[in-house]
């Protein structure tokens, strides 16, 4: 199926105006953009609607600290879904059944009442009507547009959440998707009073010492291939055990080798508890506009994964060493 808009933001705004009770949700293990989108919409609509934020899966600590005084209900599995029939359900920052498993059946049963807002290039018919713009740097960019359609000016609390989503999905405005529209939205939100330094501290500087211990091990594991243009790092389960490390301790670590001159792509392979390997890939944008770059979505695509051209991932059924070999092999087809 083609994953495109089936409605305008004006039409979604009309659906929202017509509802009294609304549930906002997003993908499992919400990241900054998922969390920011849900919090922004719940906060912005609370004066006029009965709003409910439902978050699926475990919520990483930095995302919990974004919550502030906005109540959020956690849904680990179908049993956690409250007995409640909202007028409308808004699914944000995803449209893929694979990312909303704990609520999939519940959402299917209420399909007519589900609307979606997303900036991903692929997805399913989770929502009966959806607004999709894959050119948007973050879903919160689209939530801001939706609020404009609703003629709601963001409060500082709403602006905080919108900015957090935009900042985290663009690597704090360093990645290729941080375009003119992203900076324009950031400027507008800063003018409302967003304290970006405080947000950075709350979201990015909350690690435990285990994070550094795991980083040290991952950096020590770097294997340079393809004449130093590709760096592959590995972390085994024992690395996590011996450092008291958690999966959340390695967020963003995959980018570390990209600081080296001449490196075009970095990969981080993590041995899963239940066997198998989770591979995360990142690549640099072209040195000049329109120049060559490594399309990591094409690489993980060959391994059953997906993502974006500069950030992608895949789950592999193999050992760490085999995983590194598979990635090396998959690069052949996208060689610069
Ligand atoms: Mn996003």
230 alpha carbon – ligand 1 mean position (Å): 26
Which of 161-165, 219-223, 283-287 has the least mean pLDDT?
Answer: 283-287
Percent helix, percent strand, percent coil in the chain, to nearest 5:
45, 20, 40
CA 190 to chain CA centroid, Å, is 22
Q: Which CATH number fits domain 209-334: 3.10.310.30, 3.40.50.2300, 3.30.70.2740, 1.10.800.10?
A: 3.10.310.30
For 298-329, how does the pLDDT look when each residue is reduced to its tens digit (9 = 90+)? 999 999 998 889 999 999 999 999 999 999 99
220 alpha carbon – ligand 1 mean position (Å): 31
The domain ranges of the chain are 9-204, 209-334
pLDDT confidence tier of residue 248, bands split at 50, 70 and 90: confident
For 250-274, how does the pLDDT look when each residue is reduced to its tens digit (9 = 90+)? 988 999 999 999 999 999 999 999 8
C-alpha 314/C-alpha 297 separation (Å) is 10
Which DSSP string do the residues of 63-110 spell out, in sequence order? HHHHHTT--EEEESSGGGS-S---SEEEEES---GGG-GGGHHHHHHT
116 alpha carbon – ligand 1 mean position (Å): 13
156 alpha carbon – ligand 1 mean position (Å): 21
176 alpha carbon – ligand 1 mean position (Å): 14
Indicate the pTM of the whole model.
0.83
What pLDDT is recorded for position 335?
Answer: 60
319 alpha carbon – ligand 1 mean position (Å): 30
C-alpha 74/C-alpha 53 separation (Å) is 9
Task: Report the CATH superfamily, name and number, of domain 9-204.
Answer: inorganic pyrophosphatase (n-terminal core) (3.90.1640.10)
C-alpha 261/C-alpha 252 separation (Å) is 19
For 52-61, how does the pLDDT look when each residue is reduced to its tens digit (9 = 90+)? 999 999 998 8
What dihedral do alpha carbons 9, 10, 15, 18 form, nearest 10°? 150
């Amino acid at each position: 199926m083609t994953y495109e808009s089936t409605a305008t933001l004006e039409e979604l705004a009309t659906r929202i105006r017509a509802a009294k009770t609304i549930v906002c949700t997003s993908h499992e293990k919400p990241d900054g953009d998922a969390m920011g989108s849900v919090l922004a919409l719940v906060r912005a609509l609370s004066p006029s609607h009965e709003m409910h934020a439902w978050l699926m899966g475990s919520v990483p600590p930095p995302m919990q600290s974004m919550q502030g005084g906005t109540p959020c209900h956690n849904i680990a599995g179908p049993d956690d879904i409250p007995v409640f029939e909202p007028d409308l359900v808004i699914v944000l920052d995803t449209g893929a059944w694979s990312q909303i498993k704990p609520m999939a059946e519940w959402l299917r049963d209420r399909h007519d009442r589900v609307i979606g807002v997303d900036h991903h290039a692929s997805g399913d018919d989770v929502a009966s009507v959806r607004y999709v713009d894959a050119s948007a740097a973050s879903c919160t960019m689209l939530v801001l547009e939706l609020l404009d359609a609703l003629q709601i000016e963001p409060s500082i609390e709403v602006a905080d959440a919108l900015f957090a989503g935009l900042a985290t999905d663009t690597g704090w405005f360093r990645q290729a998707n941080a375009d003119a529209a992203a900076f324009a939205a950031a400027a507008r939100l800063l003018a409302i009073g967003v304290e970006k330094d405080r947000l950075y501290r709350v979201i990015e500087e909350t690690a435990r010492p285990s994070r550094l211990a795991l980083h040290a091990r991952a950096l020590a594991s770097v294997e340079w291939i393809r004449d130093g243009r590709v760096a592959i790092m590995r972390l085994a389960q024992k690395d996590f055990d011996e450092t008291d490390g958690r999966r959340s301790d390695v967020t963003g670590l995959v980018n570390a080798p990209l600081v080296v001159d001449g490196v075009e792509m970095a990969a981080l392979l993590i041995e899963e508890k239940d066997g198998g390997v989770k591979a995360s890939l990142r690549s640099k944008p072209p040195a000049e506009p329109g120049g060559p770059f490594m399309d990591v979505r094409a690489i993980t695509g060959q391994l059953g994964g997906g993502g974006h051209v500069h950030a992608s991932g895949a789950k592999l059924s193999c050992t760490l060493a085999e995983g590194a070999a598979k990635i090396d092999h998959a690069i052949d087809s996208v060689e610069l």
